[in-house]
Amino acid sequence: MTTAYTADSIKVLKGLDGVRMRPAMYVQGGTGVDGYHQLLTEIIDNAVDEALAGHADEIEVVLEKDGSAAVSDNGRGIPVGIMASEGKPAIEVIFTQLHAGGKFDSESYKVSGGLHGVGSSVVNALSTYLQADVWQNGIKHRIRFERGEVVEPVHEIGAAPKGHSGSKVSFRPDPAIFKDVPDGFDHARMKRRLKELAYLTGGVKIILEDHRHTEVRRDVFHETGGVAAFAESLVRDEKRLYPEAIRIGDSVTIDQDGKPETIEVEVGLLHTHGYGQTILTYANLITNRDGGTHLTGFKTAYTRVLNTYAKNKNLLKKGEATPTGDDYLEGIACVISVKLGDPQFESQAKVKLLNPEAQSAVQSVVYERLTELLEENPKTGKTIIEKAASAARAREAARKARDLVRRANPLENDELPGKLADCQSQDPAVSEIYIVEGDSAGGSAKQGRERRFQAILPLRGKILNVEKANLGKILKNAEIRAMIAAIGAGVEGTGDDAHFDLADVRYHRIIIMTDADVDGSHIRTLLLTFFYRYMRPLIDAGYLYIAQPPLYGVKIGRQKEMQYLFDEAALQKVLKEHRGKNIEIQRFKGLGEMNPEQLWTTTMDPESRVLLRVTIDDMLEASETFEMLMGTEVPPRREFIEDNAHKARLDL
């Protein structure tokens, strides 16, 4: 039977119906945890835009017990007057019509992150209720919506305190839309974002209150040091090469199709004794995870200035390698922030800035200001050049080691015999490799695997902590070299000789499989640190996984089949449900204690196993966490352990 396609088949979705029907089209992150938090981010961004325009200096975010959130500011207040073109109050139009807002008027908001005008209305559409209170001209106004529909038109509800103006938007995400977000707003996630905004706005006071606990949690962020203070927050005092972060800031006016446009540029940077680099980029306070034109402009000017400075001051020894751009970036913590009128991004996620004028502006400001700063602070300049020269020497020393791991077929590498048990498949899309802790577990894995598409690489002992070593030392480590050779794509972060090509990866599932104990957790963290610092494209592509081996095997009564449990809570539940029955419990302290059949059934069989895909949702948090857990400083690590010790499981 064929259904007729007629004029009656055409449906017109009115108002915000389309948003509720297809929320993933309008919300970055869809209806999952990311999309849920994006609603709050949209409302916060509106308050921040008011602050950037110079009309507000305080923002408050409150998380309520019922799952709702409220954002208030002391700005001008959302317009409540009648729009002549619509015949409705402006505040109603803003919350009920897509592509409506003050961001399209360059006089109202010269700088804004959300230029599409869909944020407020989308939040309204996807909330069980949204209420906006506005204080203007001595009067308090209110409007209320339910699932996008007006239930209380804008009306006066009293007098506003003398001299007070501003807005407060309260809303509760609709659980019918966000079905898989049972825990509500994540306090730590919002705290990080608000702290980040406090640095980037440079002087705006931002308050976070969480009312969901017995005692109200209150955090106040008021950072007047801007991006320089932000850069300093990314490192520890003991690791600095010089006392204070370098701040570079200025505005540049560029002709855009016959119309002048002013671009504000701020850069804060600080060098450390470490080997990695942390560079955070923002356009109109929006995080650009993949950088973009502003990052390109910075790197170009930064490398040019330092090369010129080193040459003019005769700071490089004759016969030694000239530092590359990556050598100059070794150990850097850097924050780059630009504000411009019409930001263009690569995608809806806004991970990469595309504006060419941003590159020109950053390049100009960094070149001029950094040149001046180095002339005024010769000791700092000399220290930076010496650090880069040391990185260049290490890079040269690593050349031979790096060549060893570039061979197309890792089985030809004389470092690998007896370690890698490769799979038969030559297709990376279906091939997977288990990186296994120890020869004992490796033996069980080799016997239990499906050799057609599963490869096994056992590691002996704990691998090198890459957070405490330079690349030259890292590439001399036999276990790391074996991993790099088996994966086949090379390593990142080695200057002009950097070699990492995702197309050369030999397995599209790289699975870390360690024991479910303290030592196994440590080895897993060491491996994750290595992959994050030197093979991050694997994570971005979704190729890195963590296996989930069981902690216990139990047989209840006369059961023949063993039931596998993955945590202590599951065991306690079984014990409670079968209290007084005959329960046999087997504790798997290591993968080697499981026979090949058990290891296959519980951890390696694609039909029954559980794999955790490694993702990086927050670059700042990831970098800080690896630095804290694996870096050279003991106090932050001790503080972390003390704060989280109550969550640990004692392994006996």
Q: Cβ neighbours of residue 143 under 8 Å, at least 6 residues apart? A: 80, 89, 91, 92, 95, 131, 132, 150, 152, 153, 154, 155
Q: How far apart are CA 232 and CA 224, in angstroms?
A: 13
Helices (H), 161-313: 187-201, 226-233, 293-312
* Per-residue buried b or exposed e for 72-109, using 16+ beta carbons within 10 Å of the residue's own CB: bbbbbbbbbeeeeeeeebbbbbbbbbbebbbbeeeebb
Q: Which of 437, 479, 624, 627 is catalytic?
A: 437
Length of the chain, in residues? 652
Q: How far apart are CA 568 and CA 556, in angstroms?
A: 17
Q: Which of 34, 244, 504, 517 is catalytic?
A: 517
Specify whether the CB–CB gap between 568 and 551 falls below 8 A.
yes
Q: Which of 146, 519, 540, 618 is catalytic?
A: 519
Name the amino acid, one letter, at 236: R
> Could you confirm whether 515 is annotated as catalytic?
yes
Q: Which tokens hold the place of 439?
A: 């020869």
Cα angle 415, 421, 424; round to 5: 125
- 84 Rama class: left (phi>0) / alpha (psi -120 to 50) / beta: alpha
Q: Which tokens hold the place of 202?
A: 């440079």
Q: How far apart are CA 472 and CA 462, in angstroms?
A: 18
C-alpha distances out from residue 186 to 15, 69, 212, Å: 31, 12, 11
Name the amino acid, one letter, at 636: P
Neighbours of 17 (CB within 10 A): 13
> Could you confirm whether 105 is annotated as catalytic?
no
Q: How far apart are CA 195 and CA 351, in angstroms?
A: 20
Q: How far apart are CA 540 and CA 532, in angstroms?
A: 10
- 545 Rama class: left (phi>0) / alpha (psi -120 to 50) / beta: beta
| Distance linking the first and last C-alpha atoms of the chain | 67
Q: Cβ neighbours of residue 416 under 8 Å, at least 6 residues apart? A: 410, 482, 485, 486
Helices (H) and strands (E) in the chain, counts: 20, 25
Strands 278-283 and 246-256 come out as: unpaired
Q: Which of 73, 515, 624, 627 is catalytic?
A: 515
**Beta-bridge partner residues of 555:** 584
Q: How far apart are CA 358 and CA 68, in angstroms?
A: 38
Taking only Cα atoms into account, the Rg of the chain, rounded to an integer number of angstroms, comes to 28
> Could you confirm whether 73 is annotated as catalytic?
no
> Could you confirm whether 540 is annotated as catalytic?
no
Four-point Cα dihedral 300, 305, 311, 317, nearest 10:
-70
Give catalytic residue positions.
437, 515, 517, 519
